Amino acid sequence: MSEETFELTLAGRRWALPHLPFRAIKSIQPALFAVYAEAGGAEMTSASVAQLGEAQFDRLAEATWRAIACLEPGLSYADFLDLPFSVGELIEAFPALARAAGLRAGAPGQATREASPEAGKSISIA
């Protein structure tokens, strides 16, 4: 795993998310895929994102909190929800969150699974 980080900014605070551990990814990825699909998937536009509702924002907020909690375990979900961030900030955090969860952006508006290392090469788990 590389030491690459993905900057996420909400409520004037910045977090440099590392590649997340599987325990976080398994709860974050389903929410990200659901929000991505409900926002139009590869055909996502500003108009389709504007059609997202409270349930989708709740899923995205929880996924974002779970990622931040890997860095800041003392931040409760209730305290996270009390931070003064906008829906726009939450949407802007989506790409960094997706990359930290092992997804990468394809063409604008697309998220795809992270490519595997070169075939035949071993993967270090140290």
Hey, is 47 helix, strand or coil?
A: helix
Domains contained in the chain, number: 1
With tokens 């004037």, the residue in question is 12
Which tens digits make up the pLDDT trace of 70-115? 999 999 999 999 999 999 999 999 999 999 999 865 433 444 444 3
Domain-located, residue 68: yes
Residue range of the domain that includes 42: 17-101
> What confidence tens digit (pLDDT) does each residue in 17-54 have?
999 999 999 999 999 999 999 989 888 888 988 899 99
Look at residue 81 in the predicted model and tell me its pLDDT: 97
Other Cβ atoms less than 10 A from the Cβ of 20: the count is: 22
Does pTM top 0.85 for this prediction? no
Please check whether residue 88 lies inside any domain of the structure: yes
